[in-house]
Amino acid sequence: MAFSTLPVTSLKGVGPSLAEKLGKLGVSTTLDLLLHLPRRYQDRSRLVELGALTSEAECLVEGEIVAARITFGRQRSLLVTIQDETGFLNLRFFHFARNQQQSLQPGVRVRCFGQVRLGREGFEIVHPEYRIFSGAAPALEHALTPVYPTTKGLGQTRLRALVGQVLDQGLPDDDGLPYQSLQTLHQPPTDTTATDIAACQERLAIDELTAYYLVMRRRQALRAELGTRALPPAQQLGRRLLTNLGFQLTGAQRRVLKEVLEDLEKTEPMLRLLQGDVGSGKTVIAAFAAIRASEHQAQTALMAPTEILAEQHYLNFRDWLSPLGIEVVHLTGSQSAAARRESLEAIASGRALVAVGTHALFQQQVSFRTLALTIVDEQHRFGVHQRMALRAKGQLPHQLVMTATPIPRTLTMALYADMAVSVIDELPKGRQPIETAVLSDQRREDIFSRVAQLLEKGEQAYWVCPLIDDSEQLSAMSVETLSGLLNDGLPGAQIAMLHGRMPSAEKASVMARFKAGEIQLLLATTVVEVGVDVPNATLMVIENPERMGLSQLHQLRGRVGRGSVRSHCILLYGSPLSQAGKTRLQVMRDSQDGFYIAEKDLELRGPGDLLGTRQTGEQQFRIADLAVHAHLIPQVVTRGDQLLSNEPEVAARLLKIWAPEETTESAV
């Protein structure tokens, strides 16, 4: 017998208002309710002796009131002392009603639950849940008490009762849901250990990740069945770019380019993830792919996450492609109406074979004549939805997705199972390692003379800080304050600011002047994080690096070390630095390998930062937590493959439970 999921309104006592509250928790069916797992547990199954209390523990205690008085500390409170044979405990109430005070008198027995802390007068519980009793003590709970994530107006007791109703229907273990684990997680017997709970969560996480993997594989299979326009070699335009470039492709670039071009020759629409560390040279691969499409008079859209980056790509592509007779246009939100109209017209008529822009590219007014290839740069900044909106502009265009965020291989195997993956694992020759120093920001002035020397030699620098204006909440460096410091410390230097609140045209002009060497030092927020490429910049100073993720720091640092001159990065932390902060910055000092840094980041902070929207926004797992469960992935992949080939019915049941919304044609 299979568990048939029903709307929550089928449960006793659930009317429209309760259903709405449940809806806020993402619970609209009885299955959702079963999968809405407790965040933690309370143990109300045993009494803790007052002599055995420990600070921070959440526990159930019992005793007789021996004193009750009002105290006047910083804040008036009612302090009630209880006693058992082994010791004392204070109950503290900052808010209390008169009748409450009257009932809590010496001689009365109470049972309380709450978190113990060490107060000035010994152990205490602030605002415990309590119950007065006389005669026989109230019974103890027979299970650990689950604490669910909840929302305003929906209490724990109510949630527990609703889950209880579903569990009481009697649950067979043979239809794809591991009921035994669910039962344990919702109503753990009193002897359940943390290890038992983790094992049950793991059991469910494996199912959930397997279902996700199956979804990805299915999308891949569906895509493979669809045909699109093949783009075999047609002219020799790529060869001409190769001779014009002025550098030789690295071995890794050549390998990856071959993978991309071979995909384009097929009628199966390409969906390829191109990973490569900052500075590994992904852009030029994109250019070769666009050239291949152009050889067929078919269009390419290249989408970048920021205007600065879109502008930079546009200039590169124009330099590379227009000598080959390929027209490149530019489309961003901040263009003048006339420029925009012209770009739109060139795209619609098919005259412009390459359009480079921001998310402005997938807005409704943009219509391509023959879009055959979409390229998305720094894809972790975009949701899959945006990528698909762009894709929808063509008839199943080939898709190339580029990212400098190194994703550990274990994660790509499952999370990107719908994509082919190429990795550029080699930097262009002649790159000097970036020397990284970690200094207290109290030594900021010490580095001014060094910066001045460097600028005098004709090199350029970035100085990055987290805030635009000073903030009362955050003690972190701002562009506002720093610009004063730098102007005093580096008299005569050409310094300009770059931050997200400046109008786009101004940002573009600052970037252009920095690129041209007219600006020597760019004082910026993290807007320069992604992709910006100025090979003559050889110094990156970062304020408050302790507030940033390692992957972000790696991206920022990757703005230098792009030429053949030795580059430096200085991490100016706000002191005092925590131990964890020290460890993190040490990783930056010791390594320049994006994959290693990403793995450390995963270890130290969890995967949210790393995976961007894939993990955080659009792909929230209900139960699996990659920080905890990433090690399960190889097993998930094996199981998923095995189900696909031998037990398709089991695979179908898993999908029905975990991905009911996954219809056949969506999201290929």
Residues that bind ligand ADP (CB under 6 A): 247-250, 253, 276, 278-284, 404, 428, 531, 533, 535, 562
Nearer to ligand ADP by C-beta: 95 or 429?
429
**8 A C-beta contact, residue 595 and residue 408:** yes
Which of ligand ADP, Mg ion, none does residue 428 bind to, with CB < 5 to 8 Å depending on kind?
A: ligand ADP
Here's the x/- map for Mg ion, 507-546, by CB under 5 A: it reads as ------------------------x---------------
Which of Mg ion, ligand ADP, none does residue 49 bind to, with CB < 5 to 8 Å depending on kind?
A: none
Nearer to ligand ADP by C-beta: 251 or 634?
251
Which of Mg ion, ligand ADP, none does residue 533 bind to, with CB < 5 to 8 Å depending on kind?
A: ligand ADP
Which of Mg ion, ligand ADP, none does residue 403 bind to, with CB < 5 to 8 Å depending on kind?
A: none
Q: Nearest-CA neighbor of 181 among 160, 158, 206?
A: 206
Contacts with Mg ion: how many residues (CB under 5 A)?
1
What is the nearest approach in angstroms of ligand ADP to the Cβ of residue 284? 5
493 by Cβ neighbours in 10 Å (0-12 / 13-18 / 19+) ranks as middle
Say which residue the tokens 């230098």 belong to: 560
Q: Are strands 58-72 and 109-119 parallel, antiparallel or unpaired?
A: antiparallel
**8 A C-beta contact, residue 466 and residue 548:** yes
Which of Mg ion, ligand ADP, none does residue 535 bind to, with CB < 5 to 8 Å depending on kind?
A: ligand ADP
Nearer to ligand ADP by C-beta: 89 or 309?
309
Q: Nearest-CA neighbor of 585 among 405, 407, 467, 437?
A: 437
> What's the rounded Cα separation, in Å, for the pair 339 and 257?
33
Which of ligand ADP, Mg ion, none does residue 482 bind to, with CB < 5 to 8 Å depending on kind?
A: none
**Looking at beta carbons, which residue is closest to ligand ADP?**
281
What is the nearest approach in angstroms of ligand ADP to the Cβ of residue 538? 14
List the structure tokens of 8.
């929550």
Say which residue the tokens 């007219």 belong to: 518
What is the nearest approach in angstroms of ligand ADP to the Cβ of residue 372? 22
Which of Mg ion, ligand ADP, none does residue 280 bind to, with CB < 5 to 8 Å depending on kind?
A: ligand ADP
Say which residue the tokens 């994959």 belong to: 595
Nearer to Mg ion by C-beta: 192 or 283?
283
> What's the rounded Cα separation, in Å, for the pair 347 and 299?
8
Nearer to ligand ADP by C-beta: 130 or 514?
514
What is the nearest approach in angstroms of Mg ion to the Cβ of residue 598? 16
Nearer to ligand ADP by C-beta: 184 or 253?
253
What is the nearest approach in angstroms of ligand ADP to the Cβ of residue 612? 17
Cβ neighbors of 317 (< 8 A, separation 6 or more) are: 287, 290, 302, 328, 354, 356
Reply yes or no: is the peptide bond before residue 576 cis, omega within 30 of 0.
Answer: yes
What is the nearest approach in angstroms of Mg ion to the Cβ of residue 282? 5
> What's the rounded Cα separation, in Å, for the pair 508 and 523?
15
Nearer to Mg ion by C-beta: 372 or 404?
404
What is the nearest approach in angstroms of ligand ADP to the Cβ of residue 429? 7
What is the nearest approach in angstroms of ligand ADP to the Cβ of residue 318? 14
Nearer to ligand ADP by C-beta: 278 or 496?
278
Nearer to ligand ADP by C-beta: 257 or 417?
257
User: Across 30-189, where does the E strand assignment appear?
Assistant: 40-42, 58-72, 76-83, 88-93, 109-119, 122-126, 129-133, 145-147
Neighbours of 603 (CB within 10 A): 13
DSSP classification of residue 458 = T
What is the nearest approach in angstroms of ligand ADP to the Cβ of residue 530? 9
> What's the rounded Cα separation, in Å, for the pair 605 and 623?
18
- Tell me the HSE value of 154 on the side-chain side, using a 13 A CA sphere: 22
State the residues that interact with Mg ion by CB under 5 A: 531
